[in-house]
């Protein structure tokens, strides 16, 4: 006989102060925009995990969200898990989610560079379908393969008023994403860990079938860590990001790059923990894309950076 496991919850958030200021300082100081408001957010969710037998189980959930000035939305999630044996599991997931527009997207306006949407903004929505295969080769090694397809509607993008040519945020975009992700993890008895992952994605505008900017088709990531002693561990990470378009409406491409990071971390005693990280070890130059609304199409990432982290536990 099957077993049920119910999980539910409530959430409430009060944003008691939200402020935005924009002051012109040239040629003379002049305050051009000031916004201050409060809003509230409420949510409730319920999930049922049902185990039919030792091979098949289900998970069904429902989430209700309500935002001041935006309204309410209900989003479901359904998953089916099949385990033909103790080492393999296959999971199918169907879910819907959303992203509420930010305060800046909803309310910012200065009268000449950007203005508020006259009819208001709606939330972005996404419909997701995913199939996941998990396989344990042995007690120390496992692999995972994921195939997914996302359909995104009402993306918040710039629109322009034909009367005064002042841009504003509007729900215009429709995108579709399909991809494959694979990763394998290996552990050794001495505490050494290693993970290798690869992802291929194809993100396109559904209206003109053009690949979106800032969405590299290939990502490769390696991470490993080695215990130097009982309290100290050395970890390294390498990330390869393929070339991508800077603007989805142009042929400008950003070059591919590979970054390497190293971290030494450990416990000094029962209270103090230290972490010393060197990011972008080889000081590689790389760039992030900007939208076509900016005068430049990219901005540079951080160069070689050294960071020290100190934690104290009472």
pLDDT tens profile 70-118: 888 999 999 999 999 999 999 999 999 989 888 888 888 877 778 888 8
% residues pLDDT > 90 (the chain):
56
Instruction: Say if residue 300's pLDDT is above 70.
Output: yes
User: What spatial distance separates the first Cα and last Cα of the chain, rounded to whole Å?
Assistant: 47
210 against 256, higher pLDDT: 256
Dig out the tokens for 252 from the structure: 């400008």
Percent of the chain with pLDDT over 70: 94
| Per-residue pLDDT, 2 | 66
The mean pLDDT value for 188-214 works out to: 89
Tell me the chain's radius of gyration from C-alpha atoms. Answer: 24
d(CA 48, CA 200): 32
Domain ranges of the chain: 207-314
Where b means 16+ CB within 10 Å and e means fewer, 235-251 reads: bbbeeebbebbbbbeee
pTM, to two decimals: 0.79
Residues 6 or more apart whose Cβ sits within 8 Å of residue 41: 11, 12, 13, 14, 15, 65, 66, 67, 68
Nearest Cα neighbor of 202 from 148, 130, 246, 158 is 148
Between CA 91 and CA 89 the distance in angstroms is 7
Mean pLDDT estimate for the chain: 88
């Amino acid at each position: 006989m099957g077993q049920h496991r119910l999980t539910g919850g409530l959430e409430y958030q009060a944003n008691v102060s939200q402020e935005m200021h924009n002051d012109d300082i040239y040629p003379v100081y002049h305050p051009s925009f000031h916004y201050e408001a409060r809003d509230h957010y409420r949510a409730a969710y319920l999930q049922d995990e049902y185990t039919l037998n030792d091979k098949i189980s289900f998970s069904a959930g429902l989430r209700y969200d309500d935002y001041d000035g935006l309204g309410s939305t209900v989003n479901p999630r359904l998953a089916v898990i099949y385990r033909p044996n103790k080492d393999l599991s296959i999971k199918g997931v169907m879910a819907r989610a959303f992203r509420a527009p930010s305060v800046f997207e909803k309310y910012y306006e200065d009268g000449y560079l950007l203005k508020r949407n006259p009819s208001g903004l709606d939330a972005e929505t996404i419909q997701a379908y995913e199939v996941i295969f998990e396989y344990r080769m042995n007690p120390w090694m496992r692999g995972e393969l994921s195939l997914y397809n996302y359909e995104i509607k009402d993306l918040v993008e710039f629109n322009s008023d034909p009367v005064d040519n002042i841009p504003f945020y509007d729900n215009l975009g429709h995108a579709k994403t399909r991809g494959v992700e694979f990763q394998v993890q290996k552990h050794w008895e001495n505490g050494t860990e290693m993970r290798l992952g690869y992802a291929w994605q194809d993100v396109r505008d559904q209206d003109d079938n053009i690949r979106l900017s800032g969405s590299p088709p290939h990502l490769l990531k390696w991470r490993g860590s080695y215990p130097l002693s009982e309290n100290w561990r050395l970890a390294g990470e390498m990330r390869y990001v393929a070339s991508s378009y800077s603007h989805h409406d142009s042929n400008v491409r950003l070059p591919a790059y590979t970054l390497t990071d190293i971290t030494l971390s450990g416990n000094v005693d029962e209270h103090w923990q230290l972490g010393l990280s060197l990011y972008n070890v080889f000081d590689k130059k790389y760039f992030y894309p900007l939208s076509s609304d900016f005068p430049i199409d990219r901005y540079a990432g951080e160069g070689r950076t050294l960071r020290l982290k100190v934690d104290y536990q009472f």
